[in-house]
Structure 1
């Protein structure tokens, strides 16, 4: 409690403070003090002594050093409060007390006597109340040590004699003494440590005991006279004095740690060793030699105090931790330094620095395995490059492997460390450790991409594939399978199990290679992907079929096609579970077939199969939606490609497919591009169909004329002539182009001329001009035709002249009638009403048109003749319309463009708009 008591062979007790000021009180007046015990938690002092030397009865007293009574003014005296006095006596004889112990709560106190008896005192020892004394042990050997161990539900008393070590449960209902060891120790060589273990010192070693028996021991082979516990882990060991029979030499004296080397004893010299043993780290922390004997050891104020027999007191101070460590470093005692750092709660960085020093020391000694063990313990604190550089230089790949592996296990490795570790495995050819590192069930503690890359470079493809598949690095897996291992079938099976969008991405990269080696299977996968059926469970797997013949000219197939496609939504909505226990819906956005078309550059036959499948499954429906202009353009590109593929072959089946494609009303192909393809491939049926589809009948006849196919020309003019009259002059010119053609087509020529005549399709002059472009057609050939046309023209001319004359007479008659109306009186002689047919009587109304009516028959409408009003209004409306249209030039030009005979339009326009023009002129 901040003080320490020293006692002498008297009844006085001296209390000494830090400044070594001593104050005294009389504990046993006329007697002597034999034992002192200071409680740790309370400032209570227990003394054992004798009241008088004659009786020799031990007396136990408890003093409260905090409750001091007033003195007579002397600073050297104190009077503490005496709490309790207990006389110790067993039987009729008295025996000296060898050891004493008391609980901190002062509920129990044990007294050990020199005759082998242990007396247990129970009760509240801090108050003057009755207490019970009980002999709990009687033996033949003196008691050399006692110690209490307080547990949760019991209190154990250790009893030590010269021959035995025992335990006694003071809390038990029927307590008994249990022998823990049949070897004891000398007086003063038993002490309790902070862990409430009994520490026993014998000549050969130091032993620790708990209630179950003997525990660990520390070998320290030297005689021991006393043990004192210091702090939490130090044991102060005093050895008996060593006596020499002569004076010490000068050298020996100079080597003494303590005491006066100048002191000379006439007969003997005593040397006493004091050792401080570190029980936690198991080493001697201090060894000191003192001249003479040691009267006592006590520990106070964080120091060990040694009281010698010559009345001197020596203080032993513990060095600070950094100084201790420096000493241990110099002695290369790194294990002790590490333990010391742990005890002093050093941080991880500081402890790692000690491990580094230890590793450096062992590295310099050439103990690379031991050095690596230390460096591994610095992981997380020491820069890994420091260790790696050392072991790379020393070519200690095996040790470096261990370090890098530990670095990965703690999750502190980067990509460079992963690369280096895998390179170490491969150089050592340590497949088992490589397997252990890669094929682990623990969390990933390395850079995956780096690991796969290194395994590939080193040729460990199985390990690289394992990693890629386990962590679903699909691109890397397929890279290895296809480019390194050449396992195309396995790669294709793997792609089938991917999600559609992932399969799409990887097929864009690998489909060309897969098509070269597995064209049938790869085409099937592409078809499934682009039609929305990828992932469906099939009832029956198709066996691989033989590849189609390679066409060397197919590289030009797709040279002019754009291949960037968009995606369309699939109507599918099913669930699929792949081999990785991941479910996904088959309702996915269908990838564009167009972006896979370049992969078929060396496999045009399979491209045909691919495009046909896509067409049949998703575009063959007449009502298939086209969602955007881009999608429409994409489909056109695919149709054109499929058409080109058909036309690349000359067999009838392919040509039939091409024509069926052109005829398919669902297919929205590019007509111009299709026409170019048909022309390049000389596909006559396709050319004729496209010309016919676009109404280019003239081109059809030109095509057959260039081919010299008179029969097809004749067939064409019969079929298309009624639709396009311009074909006839062209045909007439062709028929008369050569004697051979004329010979084949003479009858057809006559038929055409007859048809032209009957339908009045061409003017005769145009027919004659068409036939006269060559010298093949003769007069005799067209004599009948010309004669008939001239006769017909004459008759038509005569009819027109007669019609003109009749119109002239009518016009003249009308003009005369108008003049008469203007200049002469009109006589009305009608006798009947033109409306009711009754006899005309007054009042009556007469019109200039010579119609007469009763006034009552006309009613209010007496301004116009009822019979002529409709005709008059019609003429008025026509004239009004003509006047309104006089400025509508757009109508005139529209009609001029629409009608085939423009001159007739102009003539008709002038004939019907004469009055309107006349009005405009006016």
Structure 2
């Protein structure tokens, strides 16, 4: 069988049905059954004989037979679970409509629910009813007669009493058309019903409103059909009619409008052959056609029957085979059964989807395979694999364009690199773009594939597609790829698009790079920066500021000034932009002045380091005066930043700044070393003039040492000035000065002549003063010796009557002191806790006043500030700094039993043994540097420190002063003694 536009595949297997009770025997339960009509209901099929018998065959091939009519059976129809039949019980024309309930069997016969006589309903004719159709809702039934009459009833078919009398005549009798061979009912919205009427010559459709009035009818172009050559699908409302040449398809909803012209469509199936039977099963149509037999084995085998199964959706022949001339085709459940004239029953078993697809792929029928897979429930799982093989097939044939359309369908299953490798050739770049576009639309692409697609667009010159693709990407949800997109646009010189893309995704640095370095639109770059946050303004200005300063200087400065005026806090430190002004002193100075003018005092402290760094970077290129140094540098230096500023000053060799910091930090020694390293004698002398008193001696010694090594005759005026200052301070012995200067062979005696003469004159004056002092001291000592002798050898009168401790009259035993104090013995012992033999009142008062005068801290402070240390030490020696050890040892604080009039008070001596040792060491060091004349002028303390006023035998005790603690007992270390 060859059909135009249809392809044939063996998708069904014909299998003989065997007896379930004896699987070795073929099923012959329907042998000798002459099937005249049939219908299916659920899993059963009802086969009607002309003589009135009905066979029920289940899908498990169980049989059941009953006699429905006594004379003849014309038509069967099933609706819901009920069976409807039309037939005759006697010889007269008395057609009966019977409604059977097959599930209710009585006396081996299904229960008859209703019987309606149809002949009285059509009194104008004596023709019997020959066809019936019932709607599945059991609310409508239509009956056709042999003379062409059609009656319709709408209502409850099972229970309405009107079913016996109230029918609507849809079609009148027509002797030309002949008997009605087929009926179908389709219900539509708006209470409309369409009734299809089939005769052997024509096909009609009638539209009824409310089931009572025919409002339209139409004769269709089909030539009519026999009772077995049509089929109707109530669920879709489609009627299929088989004529000799064509199969016609009509839809019920198209029949409502009578003026719509031609209705339906047709297919050339079994063209040129007589149609014997048409059966529909799902998407398949089984068609029996009559053919001439080429091989005649018997006399009756001149003709043969061809069975063809068509897939209407796929337009292919799924099965085709030849059968005996006499056979019937019917449906049981979802199985198509073939009944031969000899009673042999066969079934058509559809092959599984995988097998069918494998058959098609092996035959390279990929388009049919795709169609079958799409129309199948589980076909989606096979589609991508079919498309992949189809693509490979077309690619092998050189059909790259169609192949790529197949590869598009494999996205998600086939690895994209497999396809891309095949289309990387420049001649196939167009097809590659198509595939990559689909890959992107499916969101299965990666960054590498995006790059390839964009480069392919650019290489083809497809700017429009490239921009559309970029816009599609930017509207999507994958901004991480914007970097690659930007680089490709920049690579192919799509500068405006690249800048817009970078701007949209806030890739500010990239946008400015394009605008400034590639497009050279500097004013646009300044405007772009001005719209950014302050921190970004500073960052971007730092990166691109030098280019903008060269080409858009005025715009840049205005923009920066506005931002500085709006934001002056430390977070937005515009001083970081100073680097962009390097080499442009005018602009840098203007910028710096503007920053300072717009910054408050608190914020200036945070800018100081940057300001000072900038000033020192340009230190050598500018002439600095004392005033400018103070205004531009010195006033910004404070304790918090002086270390950092000093390091910068040393880095940039800013001598005035170094001097200023070291002087304010009292680091004259470091400054002296710095000047000596630079051999700057003038700076050294200036340092000696400006240093503090505490630093002068050490700095002068360093200066004299440097002069002794490096000075020349031309430096004599400076040296003379230095010696005058040394002379006035008397901190350095002249012999030391002479010894240091004598090492320089370039200096002459004239440089120290005046210094030596002045010193000798002063020494002469000091000698005369010392002689006078010695004479006065000798006279005082003679007077003191006389007093002591009187106390030792002359009697003393004691007239004190009250105790100096308790202020009560004295009672023996008592203790009397030469200082005019007296005590009860028990009072004396009570307050004399340290075992001393001295007067408690005098001892406390003496130590209290002396402690106040010779406080350790006071002594240290005065010694540090004194210009003549030896004179200060001599004064403290006169006050008894180095008294007996027993009077200066540490002891616990005592309670003060005396009031301010002479009572004992508690006051610890601050100069204990350790302190005296410390003081002695300090005095020894200082005294070695003093002039000998001052040392000789110091009076010595009387060696006998014993209290001369103690009346007991204390006068016989020897002095216990420890001479080893006297700092002046050691040999003098003064080299000029």
**Closer, same or farther in 2 for the Cα pair 1:870/1:164, shift >3 Å?**
closer
CA offset at residue 612 of structure 1? 6.0
Pairing of 1:527-538 with structure 2 (within 5 A): 533=566
Structure 1 residue aligned with 2:373: 341
Does 1:87 pair with 2:67? Answer: no
Pairing of 1:194-209 with structure 2 (within 5 A): 194-202=235-243, 203-209=245-251
**Closer, same or farther in 2 for the Cα pair 1:128/1:65, shift >3 Å?**
farther
1:234 to 284, 291, 300: 284
1:621 to 597, 601, 609: 601
Structure 1 residue aligned with 2:299: 264
**Closer, same or farther in 2 for the Cα pair 1:448/1:797, shift >3 Å?**
closer
Pairing of 1:375-774 with structure 2 (within 5 A): 375-392=407-424, 395-440=427-472, 442-444=475-477, 447-481=481-515, 484-487=518-521, 489-502=523-536, 533=566, 571=569, 589-590=571-572, 617-618=598-599, 621=601, 636=609, 638-651=610-623, 657-658=628-629, 660-666=631-637, 668-669=641-642, 670=644, 672-673=646-647, 676=650, 680=653, 689=660, 693=664
How far, CA to CA, are the matches of 1:869 and 1:443 in structure 2?
Answer: 99
Alignment deviations for residues 765-805 of structure 1 (CA, whole Å, 9 cap, x no partner) = 6787799877755599749x83x765654454333223222
Alignment deviations for residues 661-713 of structure 1 (CA, whole Å, 9 cap, x no partner) = 332145634464465467x47x6x65765675456789799979999999x99
Alignment deviations for residues 631-682 of structure 1 (CA, whole Å, 9 cap, x no partner) = xxx964x3553232231314469x965553332145634464465467x47x
1:107 to 139, 152, 163: 139
Does 1:280 pair with 2:308? Answer: no
Structure 1 residue aligned with 2:69: 28
State whether residues 168 and 212 of structure 2, in contact with CA within 8 Å, keep that contact through their aligned partners in structure 1. no
CA offset at residue 232 of structure 1? 1.8
Unaligned runs of 5+ in 2: 1-41, 256-261, 801-813, 823-830, 832-837, 853-878, 889-910, 946-958, 965-977
Alignment deviations for residues 706-753 of structure 1 (CA, whole Å, 9 cap, x no partner) = 99999x9999988779897658897999899888777x789x86x985
CA offset at residue 424 of structure 1? 1.5
Aligned length: 803
2:207 to 168, 172, 189: 168
How far, CA to CA, are the matches of 1:779 and 1:376 in structure 2?
Answer: 106
State whether residues 16 and 22 of structure 1, in contact with CA within 8 Å, keep that contact through their aligned partners in structure 2. yes
State whether residues 373 and 380 of structure 2, in contact with CA within 8 Å, keep that contact through their aligned partners in structure 1. no
1:37 to 71, 74, 77: 77
Structure 1 residue aligned with 2:391: 359
How far, CA to CA, are the matches of 2:553 and 2:753 in structure 1?
Answer: 66
**Closer, same or farther in 2 for the Cα pair 1:913/1:144, shift >3 Å?**
farther
Q: Give the 3-state SS of the residue equivalent to 1:10 in structure 2.
A: coil
How far, CA to CA, are the matches of 2:692 and 2:53 in structure 1?
Answer: 154
How far, CA to CA, are the matches of 1:775 and 1:80 in structure 2?
Answer: 155
Alignment deviations for residues 592-643 of structure 1 (CA, whole Å, 9 cap, x no partner) = 956x67766766776666666656655x7267566xxxxxxx964x355323
State whether residues 828 and 846 of structure 1, in contact with CA within 8 Å, keep that contact through their aligned partners in structure 2. no
State whether residues 222 and 241 of structure 2, in contact with CA within 8 Å, keep that contact through their aligned partners in structure 1. no
State whether residues 279 and 329 of structure 2, in contact with CA within 8 Å, keep that contact through their aligned partners in structure 1. no
1:890 to 897, 908, 918: 918
How far, CA to CA, are the matches of 1:420 and 1:876 in structure 2?
Answer: 97
Pairing of 1:242-321 with structure 2 (within 5 A): 252-253=294-295, 262-265=297-300, 269-292=302-325, 296-307=328-339, 315-321=347-353
How far, CA to CA, are the matches of 1:339 and 1:779 in structure 2?
Answer: 122
State whether residues 168 and 175 of structure 1, in contact with CA within 8 Å, keep that contact through their aligned partners in structure 2. yes
**Closer, same or farther in 2 for the Cα pair 1:328/1:892, shift >3 Å?**
same
CA RMSD of aligned residues (A): 5.3
State whether residues 129 and 146 of structure 2, in contact with CA within 8 Å, keep that contact through their aligned partners in structure 1. yes
CA offset at residue 410 of structure 1? 1.1
State whether residues 7 and 14 of structure 1, in contact with CA within 8 Å, keep that contact through their aligned partners in structure 2. yes
Alignment deviations for residues 433-486 of structure 1 (CA, whole Å, 9 cap, x no partner) = 111111236314683333333333344444443433322333443454455555
Q: Give the 3-state SS of the residue equivalent to 2:360 in structure 1.
A: helix
State whether residues 604 and 645 of structure 1, in contact with CA within 8 Å, keep that contact through their aligned partners in structure 2. no
How far, CA to CA, are the matches of 1:10 and 1:37 in structure 2?
Answer: 17
**Closer, same or farther in 2 for the Cα pair 1:49/1:694, shift >3 Å?**
closer
How far, CA to CA, are the matches of 2:478 and 2:751 in structure 1?
Answer: 104
Structure 1 residue aligned with 2:811: none
CA offset at residue 354 of structure 1? 1.6
How far, CA to CA, are the matches of 2:84 and 2:768 in structure 1?
Answer: 170
2:225 to 170, 182, 186: 186
How far, CA to CA, are the matches of 1:47 and 1:850 in structure 2?
Answer: 164
Alignment deviations for residues 21-71 of structure 1 (CA, whole Å, 9 cap, x no partner) = 654322222x111112233x31x3222112223x2332211222222223x
State whether residues 390 and 403 of structure 2, in contact with CA within 8 Å, keep that contact through their aligned partners in structure 1. yes
CA offset at residue 415 of structure 1? 1.9
2:184 to 126, 139, 147: 147
Alignment deviations for residues 354-387 of structure 1 (CA, whole Å, 9 cap, x no partner) = 2222223333333322222222122122221222
How far, CA to CA, are the matches of 2:597 and 2:134 in structure 1?
Answer: 103
Q: Give the 3-state SS of the residue equivalent to 2:618 in structure 1.
A: helix
State whether residues 608 and 645 of structure 1, in contact with CA within 8 Å, keep that contact through their aligned partners in structure 2. no
Q: Give the 3-state SS of the residue equivalent to 1:412 in structure 2.
A: coil
State whether residues 85 and 132 of structure 2, in contact with CA within 8 Å, keep that contact through their aligned partners in structure 1. no
State whether residues 596 and 604 of structure 2, in contact with CA within 8 Å, keep that contact through their aligned partners in structure 1. no
Does 1:804 pair with 2:774? Answer: yes
How far, CA to CA, are the matches of 1:693 and 1:463 in structure 2?
Answer: 61
**Closer, same or farther in 2 for the Cα pair 1:673/1:777, shift >3 Å?**
same
**Closer, same or farther in 2 for the Cα pair 1:292/1:310, shift >3 Å?**
farther
Does 1:368 pair with 2:409? Answer: no
